[in-house]
Each structure stands twice: as structure tokens, then as C-alpha cells.
Structure 1
Amino acid sequence: MARTDIPVTTVASINQQAANSFDVAGTAADTSNGNSFTVTGREMLLVENTDDDTAYTFTVASAPDRLLRTADIVNYSLNFGEKALLGPFPMEGWNNSGKVNLNASNAAIKFLPFRIPNTL
């Protein structure tokens, strides 16, 4: 089955503040199909375990670089309530047909990919 695509949030400039302009929300992991987000080389990923008493894991699948090396982040464990910040994800090594692919052990894992704009 196709992975569930997660929209990428573009970071708002501090000079463009308006009501709710800095609010963000993660997307619950699709544990059956996996998730993905579009990669341009300027993306970061915030991952949160929203459970209140159980640790869960997530995986970020890399793509072969020009030397055919991979560097998957496999079964990274987040204790309940913990967050992890990863990136940026350069195109080389993370571009799986224009996407970064994600998997999680439970829907309590929430993914929030965000893009740093070229100029703030």
C-alpha cells in the first residue's frame, strides 16, 4: 500500500507574526502503511511520543548515496512524553523518490516535518 503523506509545514518568519501563525501540530503515525514527507534538503523532523506511560519507536529510512551507503535511523526509542528533533535531511542519502519515509510502532508517535525557508 502507499505510504500516508504528511504535509510539510514551512517555518513562518518571526517578522510575519499573526494570530496562530506559529502554531503547529503533529500527524499521528500510520502504523499499517507508514508515512512520508516531501524532501527538498531543507527539512527538519520533530517526533513526539504522546503516550502517557509507554515508550514507542520510530524509523527513518535513508536512501543510497552516490557510494551506495545507507544510514537508516532504526527503532529510535522515545519514552512517554519525549520528543526528538532530526535533520536537516539533505537530498543525498534521504531522497526516496522525492520523499523521506517513516515508520512507527504506535499511532501515539506524531510526526511534524517542517521546512526552513530559503530566506526568513
Structure 2
Amino acid sequence: MATEVVEEADWYRIEYDDDIDALIHTWTMFSSGEQFREGANALYEALNEYDVSKEIIDTREVKAHDEEDKQWLQEEWIPKMVEAGMAYSANVHRESVIAEMDMQETVDPLEDLPFENMMTDDMAEAREWLADQ
């Protein structure tokens, strides 16, 4: 796997993976509010810079999302990402029913947006799915 670090902060890392032509955004610790939005918007900037349509969001280090942050993701950030060209998004969550339910609750209201989303607790599965897209 050949990756290039695009940006890094204490709470996230963004890499470009040229094997699957995708960005990988890893949340390395919980964040919320402005800090969360800063990390999410860094991925938006990278999507524009690298002109890719695929992303992996690795939230294995996050237990749950803040309700305000979920609302912001649903109403503003995800539609903005789709408009910028995101067509495929794989979400890697911690191995937990609660984490999976949290992720599902975030993306379910977005089923009418023109992008495909998959959720898994396995990074290899997420990479394989995106490689096929």
C-alpha cells in the first residue's frame, strides 16, 4: 500500500492511497464541535486538491458522534462532499454494534444523495470495496 500523508493533526490524519485512488481519513482520537469540523473540512479540501471520488473514513478510535456534529454532517458536510465529486465512501467503525448503529444513524437520512456508502469494521474490506469501484 503506497500512501502519502496529505495532512496530519493530533486528532486526525489524511492520506492519499494511489493503489485505490482514494483518500483515507483516520480519526486518531475523539473530537467534536469546531475541532471535528476542522478535521472534516480538511478532508473536503484534500478531495478537491487530489480530484478523487473515493474515500475511507476510519472512525475506529471514536466511540460515537455528537448529535450536533451528526446534524452538521447530514445537512452541510456530506452534501458538500458529494457536490465536490465524492461518489464512494467507506466507513470503517470500531467492532461494536453501538458504533455500527451510530454510523448507520448518520448516513441513513442521506440515501437520496448520489453516492454509494458502505460500512465495515475491517479496513481490508473497505479498501477492497473501493478498489472495485
TM-score (norm 2): 0.30
Greater share of residues in strand: 1
Q: Looking at CA atoms only, which structure, 1 or 2, has the larger radius of gyration? A: 1
Higher relative contact order (CA 8 A, sep 6+): 1
